[in-house]
Homo-oligomer: A and B are copies of this chain.
């Protein structure tokens, strides 16, 4: 069973999170997770307009930037926003993403 990286947010730079959140598809993922419940969402529960290979890459980018965390559950991979930690490390950042209602 796969385990996922979960970096300490203190070692994540603003450049890294900005780079990760600059992509519209990744912003869409973050907005969906902000509305989701604590259980999180599986990769195929987002309406992403990219292939599953590309989607998988976007989830990895968000994990590496400390923005989401993922866990294997059965055959699925559930992801959650690291909301509290992000709000402490980068106050206001998630609010900006949430406020941007944008067509992809």
Q: How far is the CA of A66 from the CA of B39 in the complex (A)?
A: 38
| Complex alpha-carbon distance, A77 and B14, angstroms | 28
In Å, the complex CA distance between A92 and B93 comes to 7
Interface of A is mostly: helix
| CA–CA, A100 and B97, complex, Å | 19
User: Which residue from B15, B19, B96 sits with its C-beta under 8 Å from A93?
Assistant: B96
Number of interface residues of A (CB under 8 A): 19
Q: A15-B23, A91-B96 are in contact. List 11 more A-B contacts (CB 8 A).
A: A14-B21, A14-B96, A14-B97, A14-B102, A15-B22, A18-B18, A18-B22, A19-B22, A90-B96, A92-B93, A92-B95
